[in-house]
Amino acid sequence: MLLPNHKSLKGRTAVITGGSGVLCSEMARELSRQGVNVAILNRTAEKGEIVASEINNNGGQAIAVAADVLDRKSLEKAKETVLEAFGQIDILVNGAGGNHPDAITSDETYQEEGTLEKSFFDLDENGFSKVFASNFTGTFLTSQVFGQELLKQKSPVIINISSMSAYSPMTKVPAYSAAKAGINNFTMWMAVHFAEMGMRVNAIAPGFFLTTQNRNLLLNDDSTLTARSQKIIGHTPMRRFGDPKDLLGTLLWLIDEETSGFVTGVTIPVDGGFMAYSGV
């Protein structure tokens, strides 16, 4: 079922980091359907080209741009490419991030020393820092680089991507959880800082969605649920994983000033009730 048409979005330009990912690529397709020009940023342009080509083949306007969210020069170059293509930037979706094995413990809780494959004390400092940076610092740098262009527009918007782990940290992933908690706080900070200039800053906190990155953690080889995902589904009142399309209504509501013009500094959970459920 198609979502309602947001006429005020037509002709605007959105930059989406991590735009070839499962969740953000769906956002890119929907924004294009709404008449938004879309710039898909990834570390390698090839991944973004797949999504951009699909959008263009369906009558939209999209480009894929190589950019590293931890490299300011790379982001500055990407900004110039977007401006050359579309002339303006109205929307920024900070979707780049992810996790890495070097920043993940093997067990949920610490046991007797020497019995764990990888305990908290075995986590690699560089891996931990890289995960934190890709999720938090990348959002900061991208907002800095594109923010000045956003402020030139009538109704600029930044959407950050948070996580359920921001509210209550998931076991095994301390760097990711800390970074996403920082995203919520940073979203509020930026919202206050730019409010008088008319730029709204909000975030979406997806619940548990099957993506390329987490599929091996959530599904066994025969596509049955792993023990970890059984706990997730058991704690999700709607008893399912999210579908990428579940995020789109919230995205459009937050981006369109006609539907959320007095909303800024909030993080909206889209989680099937996960955060609301106490477990009893």
Q: What value does the mean pLDDT take over residues 124-153?
A: 97
Q: What does the pLDDT read at residue 115?
A: 67
176 tagged catalytic: yes
On the question of pLDDT at 256 being above 90, the answer is yes
Angle in degrees, 0-180, between the axes of helices 45-57 and 22-33, rounded to the nearest 10: 30
Q: Which two tokens stand for residue 39?
A: 């710039």
- CA terminus-to-terminus distance, the chain: 35
Residues 224 and 152 placed together within one structural domain of the fold:
no
Q: Is residue 156 part of a domain?
A: yes
In whole angstroms, how far apart are CA 75 and each of 71, 93, 168, 179? Answer: 6, 14, 32, 20
Q: What does the pLDDT read at residue 111?
A: 85
Distance between CA atoms of residues 247 and 22, nearest Å: 11
Distance between CA atoms of residues 255 and 139, nearest Å: 17
Residues 104 and 225 placed together within one structural domain of the fold:
no
Residues 165 and 235 placed together within one structural domain of the fold:
no
Q: Is residue 1 part of a domain?
A: no
Q: Is residue 58 part of a domain?
A: yes
Nearest to 217 by CA among 182, 179, 183, 176: 176
Q: What does the pLDDT read at residue 24?
A: 97
Q: What value does the mean pLDDT take over residues 101-125?
A: 87
Number of domains in the chain: 2
The pTM of the full predicted model, rounded to 2 decimals, is: 0.95
Distance between CA atoms of residues 19 and 31, nearest Å: 12
Residues 234 and 122 placed together within one structural domain of the fold:
no
- How sure is the predictor about 228, in pLDDT bands with cuts at 50, 70 and 90? confident
In angstroms and rounded to an integer, the radius of gyration of the C-alpha atoms of the chain is 19
Q: What value does the mean pLDDT take over residues 49-73?
A: 98
Residues 183 and 231 placed together within one structural domain of the fold:
no
Q: Which of 97-111, 121-135, 167-181 has the lowest mean pLDDT?
A: 97-111
In whole angstroms, how far apart are CA 22 and each of 29, 184, 211? Answer: 11, 22, 6
CB atoms within 10 A of CB 53: 12
Which residue has tokens 């527009």?
A: 153
Mean pLDDT taken over the chain: 95
Q: What value does the mean pLDDT take over residues 72-79?
A: 98
Q: Is residue 279 part of a domain?
A: no
CA 266 to chain centre: 15
Q: Which two tokens stand for residue 106?
A: 């093997």
Q: Is residue 275 part of a domain?
A: no
Residues 219 and 99 placed together within one structural domain of the fold:
no
Q: Which two tokens stand for residue 23?
A: 């969740």
Q: What does the pLDDT read at residue 1?
A: 74
Q: Which of 110, 167, 176, 277 is catalytic?
A: 176
Residues 27 and 118 placed together within one structural domain of the fold:
yes
Residues 61 and 140 placed together within one structural domain of the fold:
yes
Q: Is residue 276 part of a domain?
A: no
Which of helix, strand or coil describes residue 220?
coil
Distance between CA atoms of residues 32 and 10, nearest Å: 9
Q: Is residue 278 part of a domain?
A: no
**Percent with pLDDT over 70 in the chain:** 99
Burial annotation 181-198 (CB, 10 A radius, 16+ → b, else e): bbbbebbbebbeebeeeb
Q: What does the pLDDT read at residue 242?
A: 94
On the question of pLDDT at 229 being above 80, the answer is yes
Q: Which of 188-197, 214-223, 229-238 has the lowest mean pLDDT?
A: 214-223
Range(s) of the domain holding residue 153: 9-207+243-270
Q: What value does the mean pLDDT take over residues 126-151?
A: 97
Residues 71 and 54 placed together within one structural domain of the fold:
yes
Residues 219 and 141 placed together within one structural domain of the fold:
no
Q: Residue 114 burial (CB < 10 Å; 0-12/13-18/19+)?
A: exposed
On the question of pLDDT at 162 being above 90, the answer is yes
Residues 108 and 232 placed together within one structural domain of the fold:
no
Q: What does the pLDDT read at residue 264?
A: 98
Q: What does the pLDDT read at residue 114?
A: 66
Residues 131 and 260 placed together within one structural domain of the fold:
yes
Alpha-helical (H) ranges within 22-71 are 22-33, 45-57
Tell me, what CATH number does 114's domain have? 3.40.50.720
Which positions ≥6 away from 119 have C-beta within 8 Å?
A: 105, 106, 107, 110, 111, 113
